[in-house]
Each structure stands twice: as structure tokens, then as C-alpha cells.
Amino acid sequence: MGKLIIQKLKKDLPDIRTNVPLKNHTTFRIGGPARFFFIAKTKENLIKAIQAANKNNLPFFILGHGSNLLVCDKGYDGLVIKLQFENCKLQEKSLYAEAGAKLANLVKLSLNRELTGLEWAAGIPGTIGGAIRGNAGAFKKAISDVIKKVEVLDSKNLRFKIYNLSDCKFGYRDSIFKQRKNLIILSAEIKLKIGDKNEIQKKIKEYLNWRRKNQPLNFPSAGSVFKNPKKNSAGKLIEKCGLKGKKIGKARISEKHGNFIVNLGGARARDVVNLIQLSKKKVKEKFKIELKEEIQYL
């Protein structure tokens, strides 16, 4: 049965791989194997992969840089499609970026072209596709501040559609793309303003220094585990519960930042989930506040 499926899939996707450890594709360095794994280097590749999954009744999952993701220890019994179309270019007054473009590359490009508006994204390790879906942000700014248009593929009918800013329904770490799993982000137009190169560079440095000082960047993680509740910092609430430094298995709530869980080497998803549940329970008991995950589960 398994052999038959792989033969069928290989006809459409010759480069498909099997049993690929997802820990190698997440910044947490955690996660069991994907039964099938395919890298889409073009939009056409992506469509082929979705068609192949549908034909074989396989669920599929879209992966960017895996920097906001906790993959379970058993892995994923379907097709993981990693988006690696990542062209970006300046187009009149906006930046055009394909979904797999790294935020770091967009920050670099905007600095080189003396464009301001993306400095806050320096140090966020994901793709623009992942950033738009979760409306990534930092330092009181978010990707929704600079989005002009998003090109989307509807995986239900394989039709392309353009979403203007108001169609994206951005909220705090939220968007229509998070609510509707059939919408896959293909590319985006980002509007920036002309700025002063030295000022842009200065801001980027300041933000990167802040991250180095306040975040545990020497261990694998998925960034902030929880969204900040209204008028509160999730990290501070966790810290006030005395949980900083709490360790389960090989995972630990960072001593540097209460909203980061770090992988000390060989952590299992189960260890992280146990720390997440403990944090939620203690914060609920002490402050009557329900923490909600920012990280996504697979």
C-alpha cells in the first residue's frame, strides 16, 4: 500500500522524499518524520504537489522556515510542502517578495535600497509567507503596517486571488490566512518609504542588540510561545509564577525570557507541551488570565 502511493506520487513529483525528520526543518530542532516531504521551488511545483496530495487522499501541510512551529514527536502522516520560491525585487516604490523569501533578506534589500519600514523585522527568522499568515511583529510594528497586496492560491479550487490590505483582516498575530487554512500565500507587495541609510542601519542594529540582550538566541526555540494578553506581557506573567528556568526533559523555560522555551539538546515535543500546560495552569491560577499559544502545532 505504502509502496504504491510513493510510486504514484513520484510520477508527479519525482523529487519527493519519504520519512524526512522535521526537526531538521524547524528552528526548535524538534519533530518526528514527515511521511512525504517535497520542496516547491516554484508556484507551479506547489500546485502539482497539492494536486498529487488530493489525488492520493493525503493531507498536506505548508511549511515556511519552521520558526513558529512545534511538530509532534510522531511526525506528520501526510505530505509536507516546503515553500522555497523566494525571489524578491524592487518594483517601482514597493518590494515584491515570493512567499518563501526570508524576512532577513527583505530587511537587507530594503536597507540597500534606502527604504524604511521593515527594520523591526531584523532578527525574525521566518519567511514573508509565514509572517503574513501570523501577522508577525515586534517593537510595536507588524507586517500589516507595510502590506499592500497579497497573492493567494486557494487550495480548494486551485484559483489565484489578490487580497488587498483590508481583505487580509489583520489583527494581533492574526489574519484571514490563519482563519482559512485553504488560503496559501504566494507572494506579497510591500510598501516602504524612502529613508536615510544610516538611520535605517542604526535602527536595525538597535533591534538586533535588544534581541541579543533579551532573548535566548544561543538555544533552538520557536520564538515567543504565547501571545501577549491585553495590557500584559506573557513573559512577565510566567516569570511572576516563578517558572523561569523550569526544566522538563530537555526543554526549559528560558532564564533570560519567560515567554521562550528552549531546546537544551534532544528535547521532545512532549516536554515542550508539558511546559506550555504548566505555564497556562500557573498563570490561570495566579492571575485568572488564559494564555493563548502564538506558536503553531503540527
**Smallest distance, ligand FAD to C-beta of residue 43, A:** 11
Which one, 132 or 282, has the nearer CB to ligand FAD? 132
Which one, 125 or 282, has the nearer CB to ligand FAD? 125
Which one, 214 or 277, has the nearer CB to ligand FAD? 214
Catalytic one of 144, 224, 254, 279: 224
Q: Are 276 and 261 in contact (CB under 8 A)?
A: yes
**Smallest distance, ligand FAD to C-beta of residue 237, A:** 18
Binding mask 101-130 for ligand FAD (x = CB under 6 A): -----------------------xxxx-xx
Alpha helices, DSSP H only, in the chain? 2-12, 43-55, 103-112, 128-133, 176-179, 197-214, 234-240, 269-287
Binding mask 31-60 for ligand FAD (x = CB under 6 A): ------------------------------
Q: Are 95 and 74 in contact (CB under 8 A)?
A: no
Catalytic one of 29, 35, 133, 173: 173
* DSSP strand pairing (193-194 vs 115-116): antiparallel
Cα distance between the two ends of the chain = 25
Among the residue ranges 6-14, 44-52, 88-96, 219-227, the one whose residues contact ligand FAD (CB under 6 A): 219-227
Q: Report the C-alpha gap between 56 and 51 in whole angstroms.
A: 9
Q: Is 294 a catalytic residue?
A: yes
Q: Which of residues 222-281 bind ligand FAD (CB under 6 A)?
A: 222-223
Q: Is 254 a catalytic residue?
A: no
* DSSP strand pairing (247-248 vs 251-253): antiparallel
At which residue does the C-alpha cell 489565484 appear?
160
Residues sharing a CB contact under 8 Å with residue 118, sequence separation 6 or more, in sequence order: 103, 106, 107, 110, 146, 190, 192
Give me the active site residues, please: 173, 224, 294
- Chain contacts with ligand FAD (rule: CB under 6 A): 27, 61-69, 83, 99, 124-127, 129-131, 133-134, 136-138, 177, 184-185, 215, 217, 221-223, 296
